[in-house]
Amino acid sequence: MKFFIPLIALLLSMASIADAGPINPSYISADAKWIFHLNIEQAQQWGLVEKWRAEMEQKDKYKQHWNKWVAKLGMDPTKHLLGVTLYDNTYARHNGIVLLAIQNVDREVLATQFKQNHPDATSTTYRQWQLSTWEEQRGPYGSHEVTGCLVNDGLIIMGNDPQRVREALDVIDGHRESLGEGRKVLQGFDTEAMLACRAVDVDEQYQKTTRCPVLQRCHAATMSFVVKDDVMQLQYNLLAESAEVASRMKGAVTGCIAIMNLQLGDDDEAETLVDAIEIETEGKRLLVNWQAPSDTFYKVLQNQKKHWRDKQKSGWQWYNKDKHQPSENTPEHQSSKKSRHKSKKGKKQQKDSYNDFDL
């Protein structure tokens, strides 16, 4: 499930969340079948994110785009957003609850900006909360309805169904049961990870329709990404339909690793990172583990970006040397470019607008 989340501002109670960055199970319904959490507060302290931000802040184009986003949202995610949690008790299109842990936001700015972004939004009241519902545009994928609420100074909640949002508010307020220790969806879920997700009880009907290659073949899946002492660690624990399926999945991952090594060429450090991927099966389970120093990963990433840019530049030079092809600045080239763009857009519109929870 992939959201990027417009913020809403509906001004009510004054409570705050303790330990807002890590996931808070008491805010998640006890019947949740999948959960996803990104600890933005922790990510902001990661050296790679700090380097990336420092680089971007030197670029005027980036700063202009970022300032526009901040103005449109009514807050700065790098300063005010601490964590994002998604969960649901079913597997369905555009479904789920989004919890945004926030801090030090300006309620008046949020309210003003929300009204500008969604002038046609309708409002309802549920107990002490005010809920807003609006139509969210999704470009070629159409649009869908969203309901949201500023729960307090530390939390925003959003969902595709007003009733589901009301039920989520009941969980937060203690009127409905929340996740506790021993719950199936929390087993193996790393609550302290920078990024973690888990799906359980994946039903057969969903497996037939989803495009997610993992959930097509697994009844449960767990992923975590942790950075400790500047070392990154990524882990997958997948429960396949059978030992045979787990073995086939291992073969597929091994094949992907071989292809990556071929594409890396003479970059020995990059090959070392790829070779660090460990894969094993335990009956129906497929276990994938990878770890690497952040600095090495950053260096390889920069080298690969440079290699890709050089390759693109070389390709354009060859393309424009061909006397039968229009150069980049000719009207013929611009017309051809627009035609290709329309063709790609048309193909994209034909795709199913299914938005999977992606592991």
How does DSSP assign 224-238, residue by residue? EEEEETTEEEEEEEE
Share of the chain above pLDDT 90, in %: 40
pLDDT at 353: 42
324, part of any domain: no
Contact between residue 226 and residue 220 where contact means Cβ atoms under 8 Å apart: no
294: three-class secondary structure by DSSP: helix
Number of domains in the chain: 2
Question: Could you read off the pLDDT of 215-248 as tens digits, one per residue?
Answer: 889 999 999 999 998 899 999 999 999 999 999 9
> Which run of H or of E encompasses 282?
strand 278-282
CB atoms within 10 A of CB 345: 12
350 burial level (CB within 10 Å; 0-12, 13-18, 19+): exposed
pLDDT band at 339 (very low <50, low <70, confident <90, very high): low
323, part of any domain: no
Give the position of tokens 């992939």: 2
Domain termination residue (choose one: 125, 160, 185): 185
Is residue 168 domain-shared with residue 283, that is, in the same domain?
A: no
Which domain covers residue 233, as residue numbers?
A: 187-312
260, part of any domain: yes
317, part of any domain: no
Higher per-residue confidence, 317 vs 196: 196
Domain termination residue (choose one: 185, 202, 228): 185
- Separation between Cα atoms, residue 163 and residue 342, nearest integer Å: 39
Q: What distances in angstroms separate CA 260 from CA 42, 99, 264, 295, one per listed residue?
A: 30, 36, 6, 20
Is residue 133 domain-shared with residue 9, that is, in the same domain?
A: yes
**pTM for this structure?**
0.77
pLDDT at 331: 56
pLDDT band at 159 (very low <50, low <70, confident <90, very high): very high
Is residue 228 domain-shared with residue 161, that is, in the same domain?
A: no
Question: Could you read off the pLDDT of 86-125 as tens digits, one per residue?
Answer: 999 999 877 899 999 998 888 888 888 888 888 999 999 9
Is residue 193 domain-shared with residue 273, that is, in the same domain?
A: yes
346, part of any domain: no
